[in-house]
Amino acid sequence: MNGTVPVIVNFHADWCDPCKILTPKLIELIEPMDKLDLAIVDVEENPELVHVFEVKAVPAVIAISNGLIVDKFIGLVNNEMIENLIQKLTNEGPIITESNDTKS
């Protein structure tokens, strides 16, 4: 996680119903991207990472760039929050855009 490509770390658990909704959303939005990696961490199998990142609840998502935590959120969030997190890490425009055509 000290590499040049930013990482979004998704802490989840098999028993967590919101995780079952959030994890596929993250995979769909992040996996196709070249400039961003997704790490999916099962809290039951990786207690050392839970301790290091001070995860207190799941789902928890932590954004890391240049080895530093840039942002994080806990709980099930909408696509807009996920996209804002992605934009912070990639400095790219919105992933999903609405038509803003103002030509007359």
Active site residue 16: yes
Structure tokens that stand for 5 in this block? 């490509």
- Looking from the CA of 70 toward its CB, the CA atoms found within 13 Å total 19
Task: Indicate which residue of 1, 16, 33, 38 is catalytic.
Answer: 16
Task: Indicate which residue of 7, 8, 9, 19 is catalytic.
Answer: 19
Nearest to 84 by CA among 4, 29, 37: 29
Active site residue 63: no
What positions carry a catalytic annotation? Answer: 16, 19
